[in-house]
């Protein structure tokens, strides 16, 4: 019988792994594939609702209350709030001391100031490491060569130097991946494959933003002509 040396878990879908590891004194680290701990605020902003409203709904659910009491008793952690405290961030107890986030900090959902201060006071850190694709990416979509990537960023740098706006469009790693149901050749239960969905989005982006009339992706306007020289002074 061997115990694990480390538990890596999803804090959104598998928080029970964290609670079990804590109870068994096994080190653990969360792997958050949402865009940072601010993802809850982004979700409420796009679909409505609020953290306070969700907490209220959880607290008035008697079956959930009994479940929380059972968890507290089972693992001997009576102080667990488990999303019933309005003064604490949602799912904060599902995070551990170090949490890996699979995006970069500049693309993370904004974390409100109160939650940011709470996590800092509790010593919970979020390490933004970017997509964990590995050396051999699990993808069916054709990957760009090093030369193509270098040429792409050369155009981006030239556009930035000319004060042109740069638009970044990403379809992520799911619909471009090799998962049979949700990947490049999968349909996710719809009428479109991942490939068709990506091509439709990119086609729309270029159609809307890449025309000659577009102020975004079209060439920048020529610089204004230099001012005309001042006329010579009148003769004395």
What phi, psi does 99 have (nearest 5°)? -130, 125
pTM: 0.62
Note the pLDDT of residue 29. Answer: 94
Provide the pLDDT for residue 221.
56
Query: Are residues 86 and 98 in contact, defined by beta-carbon separation less than 8 angstroms?
Result: no
pLDDT at 225: 73
Helix (H) and strand (E) counts in the chain: 7, 4
Q: Where are the beta strands (DSSP E) in 42-186?
A: 98-101, 125-128
Lowest mean pLDDT among 39-53, 89-103, 187-201, 203-217: 203-217
Per the listing, tokens 């878990």 go with 9
The answer for residues whose C-beta is within 8 angstroms of residue 154's C-beta and 6 or more apart is: none
Rounded mean pLDDT, 108-118 = 93
3-class secondary structure, 57: helix
Among 66, 74, 126, 69, smallest CA distance to 99 is for: 126
Cα(162)–Cα(194) distance, integer angstroms: 35
- Residue 219 is predicted with a pLDDT of 53
Residue listed under structure tokens 């609020």: 50
Other Cβ atoms within 10 Å of 57 Cβ, number: 12
Quote the tokens at residue 207. Answer: 């159609």
Q: What is the pLDDT of residue 169?
A: 87
How far CA 221 is from CA of 89, 95, 153, 166, 225, in Å, comes to 48, 50, 22, 16, 12
Angle, alpha carbons 95-90-54 (nearest 5°): 150
Query: How do residues 143-201 score in pLDDT, each as one tens digit?
Result: 678 888 888 888 888 888 888 888 888 888 888 888 888 889 998 888 899 999 999 99
- Up-side HSE of residue 118: CA atoms within 13 Å toward CB? 17
Q: How far apart are the first and last CA of the chain?
A: 108
């Amino acid at each position: 019988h061997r115990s694990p040396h480390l538990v890596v878990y999803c804090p959104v879908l598998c928080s029970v792994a964290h609670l079990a590891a804590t109870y068994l004194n096994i080190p653990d680290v969360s792997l958050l594939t949402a865009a940072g701990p601010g993802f809850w605020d982004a979700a409420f902003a796009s679909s409505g609702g609020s953290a306070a409203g969700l907490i209220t709904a959880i607290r008035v659910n008697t079956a959930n209350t009994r479940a929380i009491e059972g968890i507290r008793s089972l693992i001997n952690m009576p102080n667990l709030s488990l999303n019933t405290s309005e003064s604490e961030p949602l799912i904060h107890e599902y995070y551990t001391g170090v949490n890996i986030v699979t995006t970069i900090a500049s693309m993370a959902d904004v974390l409100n100031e109160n939650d940011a201060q709470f996590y800092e006071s509790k010593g919970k850190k979020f390490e933004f490491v970017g997509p964990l694709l590995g050396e051999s990416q699990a993808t069916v979509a054709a990957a760009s060569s090093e030369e193509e990537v270098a040429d792409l960023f050369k155009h981006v740098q030239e556009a930035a130097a000319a004060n042109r706006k740069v638009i970044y469009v990403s379809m992520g790693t799911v619909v471009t991946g090799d998962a049979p149901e949700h990947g490049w050749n999968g349909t996710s239960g719809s009428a479109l494959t991942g490939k068709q969905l990506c091509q439709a989005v990119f086609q729309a982006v270029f159609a809307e933003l890449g025309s000659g009339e577009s102020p975004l992706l079209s060439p920048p306007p020529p610089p204004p002509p230099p001012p005309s020289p001042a006329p010579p002074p009148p003769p004395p």
